[in-house]
Amino acid sequence: MIVVMDNKASKQEVQQVIERLTDLGFQIHLSEGVERTIIGAIGDKAILNDIALEAMNGVEKVVPILQPYKLVSREFKTDDSVVKVGDLEFGGTRIHVMAGPCAVESREQILETAEQVRNAGATVLRGGAFKPRTSPYAFQGLEEEGLKMLAEARERTGLKIVTEVVDPRNVELVCEYADILQIGARNMQNFLLLKEVSSADKPVVLKRGPSATIEEWLMAAEYIMSGGNYNVILCERGIRTFETYLRNTLDLSAVPVAKHLSHLPVIVDPSHATGKWKLIKPMAMAAVAAGADGLMIEVHPNPAQALCDGPQSLTPANFSSLMNDIIKIAAVFDRTI
């Protein structure tokens, strides 16, 4: 449930309600808006019948949250959430683009890519240091050495870093280097990993699983938020359908649906969704038109020699062309890149 406090409620009255709910065993999540304060209370609904919260000073009303995802829902927070990554804001009027290779392959490769995507207008460098692959014989990533290369690229370019964490035991290590943690599609329902990043002091990009419903995706976000990390960015990256021409099917309807059901920012990864570099530009433009708050684009200086995901990687020149078109589309909707 949520307890909506009167817009004139004092801090002492808010604290009294929190203490009352805490004493009854409820888990408390406080949302302080510009006009009023909302207290999210998660616990046994049966207890609510025995307490008269609306009789307490400063309480305007008590509203049950009907969705299974409580903290993620619009019922808990009606305003859009803005996730801050340093001086960047996801969920505002600016659309941020995360760009870079699927995997960090070498120091030269990641530094060259970082310079080029920064010059084209990207604000975040993406690159995998830990690469779980379908085949155990495929390239698995450079691990901590890759993280160090990403950190050097950040120092040189000023770009923020997003990279995937795949193991709960590595969360602390990745946090030392990354600005944003990424939960990949394979790990969307790795609940031990979700719980671990829920206590991390880093924003999290949560990718939708290839067979996940929107509700399951939002429930995964609930795991992260229920542990205290409210800085979650949802990422639609395509789902598995009967279509075989594409790597996945980009579900653009998930963008407005997720933004209707949830207050969290939503970004789109057209690279993994299509698996074909020629389709990235039209799908990225469509994602912006659908209301996405950001894009995640794979860029490689030489896609033909990439150790993974070469067919879906843009060259720096193609990425620059994409950014020019995205700027035009964003302007139609009064947004900037």
Domain ranges of the chain: 2-63, 83-332
What stretch of H or E contains 32?
strand 27-32
Please state which architecture CATH assigns to domain 2-63. 2-Layer Sandwich (3.30)
- Domain 83-332 bears CATH identifier 3.40.50.300: no
Are 256 and 234 within 8 A, CB to CB?
A: no
Is 70 exceeded by the pLDDT of residue 90? yes
Please state which of the ranges 61-65, 142-146, 174-178, 264-268 shows the lowest mean pLDDT: 61-65
Give the residue-averaged pLDDT of 208-228: 96
Q: Residue 8's pLDDT band (boundaries 50, 70, 90)?
A: confident
Give the residue-averaged pLDDT of 185-189: 96
- Report the predicted TM-score, pTM, of the whole model to 2 decimal places: 0.90
Give Dmax (Cα) for the chain: 68
Is 70 exceeded by the pLDDT of residue 309? yes
- Which residue in 124, 134, 2 sits closest to 72, CA to CA? 2
What is the pLDDT, as a whole number, of residue 308? 87
Is 90 exceeded by the pLDDT of residue 53? no
What is the pLDDT, as a whole number, of residue 137? 59
Give CA–CA dist 22/5, Å, rounded.
Answer: 16
Beta-ladder partners of 10? none
Beta-ladder partners of 9? none
Read off the pLDDT of residues 117-150 as tens digits, 9 standing for 90 and up: 999 999 999 999 987 666 665 666 788 999 999 9
What is the pLDDT, as a whole number, of residue 42? 84
Give the residue-averaged pLDDT of 13-39: 86
Decide: helix, strand or coil at residue 206.
Answer: strand
